[in-house]
Structure 1
């Protein structure tokens, strides 16, 4: 009888140990699965953050702000992130460079409205369908500025002068086929004037040309002209957005001045090379979701430069881009700027 009970006890202990071993195995498998999911995507090297516009411009500013925050957050698994300005052609040069890179997540690029409109106008270059949309970060505003010594210091005076001197007013902007040219075209189309648009490589060059008296006006993001405006060197006639800009509260909008159709805002997004995996896209969306919550972004970038936060990811961002492209195409067609 004692041997029988000993045998039963031995079996029970064996089953108990087996059960414990099975539970540990399940936990190990679950842990390994969790680790696998957490490590579904990892960068294979350092990150190249392409900016298709010159240092000091609007795209360069948001690229460097974001890169600095990413570096401070330390979220790249020990890898670095470096800005590479590939300028020219209203973003065409940078896009042509980005499209050649591996879609492994180690290359991302700033992406704005001009990179959609430029191929529409020139009939060449990389279209947005050839790249991978990742996310949108913010909406930027536009203004038109003139010298503070110019004889036209209001929109009405500017339009009156332009009508009396058709083709004589030169308006500078950064690149051909960019948002700057679209803004200029909107004034022509809806205010009934004939302006001469002159393309430069950067907004800094536009401001230099205007201050030097080589052009009559320029199209600027707030951060590109606020210093000269506050110094009294230039007058910002109006803003193109639907509401006044927070950092330029004294500058009226075309809308409130009675020119409702002269309205434009620029999106500021992030794209990558074509063919990026969903895992790589999600990886960068997660990182930028942390960037937009950082104080250096909300207070140091958005508030200081008068931008509006607008974070869009995934299918919503792809839909947003398609809608923006359709809108730009319609405007450019009305202006006669679409490539034949």
Structure 2
């Protein structure tokens, strides 16, 4: 008569076979126990929320990482675009999601650090409603001029604006964003009357710049990088403490004597508050392994990012530091939350 164990029917009188099968069963059970239930093979895919339209910088980055995360997590990963209000809609969706590891949010500094300071009721509070899963890159904003604008350096741009009566329009990807406050800081620094013109994203701003409908724009390096390489736009200055690998010939504003803006924006991934620590750790490790891949590092660098792998704690620390810097800048600008 056969005996039944966790390993299945065993032939009586065969202790070696019994031991092997029982050991195999225990190892299999241990392996299943080590995988958080939300990432078991038969569960729904992980949805990566992106607060901007398909085809934009954040979307391209999300799809690059999602493809690699599928292999690292052995789980389907789907990018879900929820554009609108500078990422606010996606952030609200993350807050409302179940903390089971099936919904995460890929974002940069604007939605995480800036929006909560410029909107009276954003519908979320990052440090209270979100859990950092890890960061993967930093980037900088820069000033670029349209093809019809003759300036090739920041000093030449300043002189050109002064030749136009000291007043000029500068495009920005979104209202009440870091670029808007940067326009104010640049204007103050050089004694210009610059008017920030907000667009609904970088794509329409780029279209107007390429068509010489607006003389200059402030945005992230990844917004400008392809047009810069094609010779269609000219980046003339970037922020941050060092020149960027993607555009090594473009000087920093620090080099030009414009100090105090060395704290760089960041990209990271967040989950809803209450997400189990085991899921946070597993995702963080998977993200680290993906960011370490040479092809991923190259693609992120080519997009104008500086690869910077951050643990959940490191991302939280960077978020807090960046928020402090821009809280002061926003307050000093006189901007009132709307």
Specify the SS of the correspondent of 1:232.
coil
1:120 is aligned to 2:95:
no
CA shift, 1:207, in A, is 0.5
CA shift, 1:31, in A, is 4.5
TM-score (norm 1): 0.83
Quote the residue 2:10 is aligned against. Answer: none
Matches within 5 A, 1:146-161: 146-161=145-160
C-alpha spacing 1:230/1:313, structure 2 compared with 1 (3 Å): closer
CA shift, 1:150, in A, is 1.0
> Is 2:222–2:305's contact at 8 Å kept on the other side of the alignment?
no
Quote the residue 2:8 is aligned against. Answer: none
Quote the residue 1:103 is aligned against. Answer: 99
Quote the residue 1:17 is aligned against. Answer: none
> Is 1:240–1:254's contact at 8 Å kept on the other side of the alignment?
yes
Please say which of residues 32-41 and 97-106 is displaced more in the overlay: 32-41
Matches within 5 A, 1:152-191: 152-162=151-161, 168-191=167-190
TM-score (norm 2): 0.83
> Is 1:144–1:239's contact at 8 Å kept on the other side of the alignment?
yes
User: For 1:62-119, what per-residue CA distance to the aligned partner results, in whole angstroms no more than 9, with x for missing partners?
Assistant: 1111012223x26234xx2221111121211221222221111111111211012012
Matches within 5 A, 1:51-66: 51-66=50-65
User: For 1:177-209, what per-residue CA distance to the aligned partner results, in whole angstroms no more than 9, with x for missing partners?
Assistant: 323223323313433333211222221111001
C-alpha spacing 1:35/1:151, structure 2 compared with 1 (3 Å): closer
Quote the residue 2:302 is aligned against. Answer: 304
CA shift, 1:136, in A, is 0.8
Moved beyond 6 Å, runs of 4+: 26-30
Specify the SS of the correspondent of 1:169.
strand
Aligned-partner Cα distance in 2 for 1:65–1:338: 37
Aligned-partner Cα distance in 2 for 1:167–1:264: 29
C-alpha spacing 1:261/1:70, structure 2 compared with 1 (3 Å): same
Quote the residue 2:12 is aligned against. Answer: none
User: For 1:304-340, what per-residue CA distance to the aligned partner results, in whole angstroms no more than 9, with x for missing partners?
Assistant: 1232221111333322222222122112112222528
C-alpha spacing 1:234/1:269, structure 2 compared with 1 (3 Å): same
CA shift, 1:37, in A, is 4.8
Runs of 5+ consecutive residues of structure 2 not aligned to the other structure:
1-15
> Is 2:109–2:319's contact at 8 Å kept on the other side of the alignment?
no
Aligned-partner Cα distance in 1 for 2:141–2:250: 11
Runs of 5+ consecutive residues of structure 1 not aligned to the other structure:
1-19
1:92 is aligned to 2:83:
no
Quote the residue 1:289 is aligned against. Answer: 288
The count of aligned residue pairs is 319
Specify the SS of the correspondent of 2:284.
helix
Specify the SS of the correspondent of 2:258.
coil
Aligned-partner Cα distance in 2 for 1:292–1:303: 11
Specify the SS of the correspondent of 2:172.
strand
> Is 2:132–2:313's contact at 8 Å kept on the other side of the alignment?
no
Aligned-partner Cα distance in 2 for 1:314–1:41: 21
CA shift, 1:36, in A, is 5.9
